[in-house]
Structure 1
Amino acid sequence: MEKVIAALWAPPHQSREDFGAALLGTLPQALVAAGASRVRLNLRDATVAPGEALVQQWQAPQQAAVVQFWMPSANARFRTEVDAALAAHSAWFAAWLVCESEIIPNTAHPCSANVSPGKHRTWGWSQASFITFRPDITREEAVAHWHSHHTRVAIEAQSNFEYVQNLIVRPLTEGAPAYSAFVEECFPLEALEQPEVFFDAVGNPEKFKANLDAMMASCHAFIDFTRNDIIPTSQFDFAHLG
């Protein structure tokens, strides 16, 4: 099995909310019918609108949604129906083959226990991060720092209850932005607007500063901040389909 990440762009005159509603309505089922499984949608909707200040932008316009799924093979000859489903649900899409590492599984707020029937929304919110490694260090050096140092900082300095690293293996579509990785982290809704919640330091200014400083120093050691697209999203899990 191989994991695919796809970024989806909305039609120019369609709102994010309408675009997201259209994706929720039919895209997961279309992908499963095309041979995908374990489908997850990350949408920029009204629930996460208070976190707009957290957005980091490289692409213009920026992607409005992300879909994640698994396939027996992501080779082009086996993606025909999947690509057609993605194209039918977006103005444009870009896709990548990734290697997933589940650092913190979501055992605290599993989707099935926190949603109304048919809604499939995970509690809290998800930071969906397309990141690019610094050009002045090798890919091997960037991955070594990410895995050996930054992973510990991200666990210890944040209130994340899910943390998944996806190292990009190769682009699957022509013209896909040259990202290095996709990272998904889930937080309480309050973390959208309260940095102290985000950095797990409510009521503790000293801990907040220490956690913020540790995170920023670690990020700057391997990430090119001029080529990132980081968006707050609502996470919808359709792993039950198929």
Structure 2
Amino acid sequence: MEKILYLGWRDPAQSRNAFFADLRERLAPALQAAGARGLRLNLDDDAVREADGIRQRVFDPPPDALLQVWVDSAIGFLRSGIDAAVTASVPRHAAYLVTESQAIVNRAHPPQPGLRTEGFAQLAILRRPPRLSPAQWLDIWHNGHTPVGIETQSNFEYVQNVVVRPLTPDAPAIDAIVEECFPAAAMRDPYVFFDAAGDEAKFRRNLERMMTSVHRFIDPGTIDVIPSSQYRMF
């Protein structure tokens, strides 16, 4: 089984609510009929407006949705039905074959088919700095930073998707997409986000430790951070 990520942008003539409803109500069953083994939607919808303060932007405009699709094979002719279903609902998209690592499995609030998952999901689109080789970058991120990300935040799910190769022509160059789920209060309260509610000293320690670690493998101004609602469709 392989995993494909589709970054999706809505047609500006379509409202956000109509776009998101179409993904849930029309695209999801179409993908299942086309042979997809699983689908998770991440939607930058009204439910995450309180998290606007965490946004960072490289893409202009940023994608409105992330489609996480599991298939038997990502070979072109074997996924043609999947691509056709996506194109019918998301004319502008970029697809990537990825490897998935679940650094934290969501056992606190397990996703339920068709329903919005508790809290919110922070998406981070990463680009490897030229100063690091791919092997150096992955080693720092996976073996150095991942424990820091677990120990300094209130995340209850942590999924790392490393890009193997782009699957669509002219797909923008990116190296990974991270998804982390947090309690709803973390959208507006950095103390909750950094697992330090009511504890100023712990907050400052966790924040400093996180920022120091991040800067080892991510250069400023090279990351998109997008809050989203997570829906496991099937």
The 10-residue stretch of structure 1 (143-152 or 12-21) with the greater mean CA deviation from structure 2 = 12-21
* Other-structure match for 1:115: none
Tell whether the 8 Å contact from 1:159 to 1:187 is kept in structure 2 after alignment.
yes
Q: Distance in 2 between matches of 1:224 and 1:84?
A: 36
* Other-structure match for 2:38: 38
TM-score (norm 1): 0.93
The 10-residue stretch of structure 1 (102-111 or 12-21) with the greater mean CA deviation from structure 2 = 12-21
* Other-structure match for 2:164: 169
Q: State the Cα distance separating 1:119 from its structure 2 match.
A: 4.3
Change in CA separation of 1:30 and 1:225 when aligned onto 2, cut-off 3 Å = farther
Where structure 1 has 5 or more consecutive residues not aligned to the other structure, the ranges are 113-117
Look up the SS of the partner of 2:179 in the other structure: strand
Tell whether the 8 Å contact from 1:131 to 1:224 is kept in structure 2 after alignment.
no
* Other-structure match for 1:126: 121
Residue 154 of structure 1, aligned match among 149, 152, 156: 149
* Other-structure match for 2:187: 192
Q: Distance in 2 between matches of 1:122 and 1:159?
A: 16
Question: Which amino acid counterpart does residue 229 of structure 2 have in structure 1?
Answer: S
Count of aligned pairs between the two proteins: 234
Q: How does 1:21-36 map to 2 (within 5 A)?
A: 21-36=21-36
Counting aligned pairs with the same residue, the percent is 46
Q: State the Cα distance separating 1:80 from its structure 2 match.
A: 1.0
* Other-structure match for 2:72: 72
Q: Distance in 2 between matches of 1:235 and 1:48?
A: 10
Give runs of ≥4 in structure 1 deviating > 3 Å.
Answer: none
Tell whether the 8 Å contact from 1:201 to 1:207 is kept in structure 2 after alignment.
yes
* Other-structure match for 2:217: 222
Change in CA separation of 1:34 and 1:224 when aligned onto 2, cut-off 3 Å = farther
Q: Distance in 2 between matches of 1:187 and 1:178?
A: 27
Q: Distance in 1 between matches of 2:27 and 2:160?
A: 24
Q: State the Cα distance separating 1:194 from its structure 2 match.
A: 0.5
Question: Which amino acid counterpart does residue 56 of structure 1 have in structure 2?
Answer: Q
Q: State the Cα distance separating 1:35 from its structure 2 match.
A: 1.3
Q: State the Cα distance separating 1:21 from its structure 2 match.
A: 1.5
What is the RMSD of the two structures over their aligned residues, measured on CA atoms? 1.2
Question: Which amino acid counterpart does residue 95 of structure 1 have in structure 2?
Answer: A
Q: Show CA shifts across 1:150-187 (max 9, x none).
A: 00000000000000111111111111111110100000
Q: Show CA shifts across 1:60-115 (max 9, x none).
A: 11100001011111011112111111111113010100010111111000123xxx
Q: Show CA shifts across 1:95-151 (max 9, x none).
A: 100010111111000123xxxxx7411111000111111111111111000111100
Tell whether the 8 Å contact from 2:38 to 2:233 is kept in structure 1 after alignment.
yes
Q: State the Cα distance separating 1:12 from its structure 2 match.
A: 1.3
Question: Which amino acid counterpart does residue 206 of structure 1 have in structure 2?
Answer: A
1:57 paired with 2:52, answer no
Q: Distance in 1 between matches of 2:151 and 2:108?
A: 16
TM-score (norm 2): 0.97
Where structure 2 has 5 or more consecutive residues not aligned to the other structure, the ranges are none
Q: Distance in 2 between matches of 1:157 and 1:7?
A: 28
Q: Distance in 2 between matches of 1:47 and 1:214?
A: 29
Tell whether the 8 Å contact from 1:17 to 1:44 is kept in structure 2 after alignment.
no
* Other-structure match for 1:7: 7
Tell whether the 8 Å contact from 2:102 to 2:160 is kept in structure 1 after alignment.
yes
Look up the SS of the partner of 1:101 in the other structure: strand
Residue 232 of structure 2, aligned match among 232, 237, 241: 237
Tell whether the 8 Å contact from 2:8 to 2:92 is kept in structure 1 after alignment.
yes
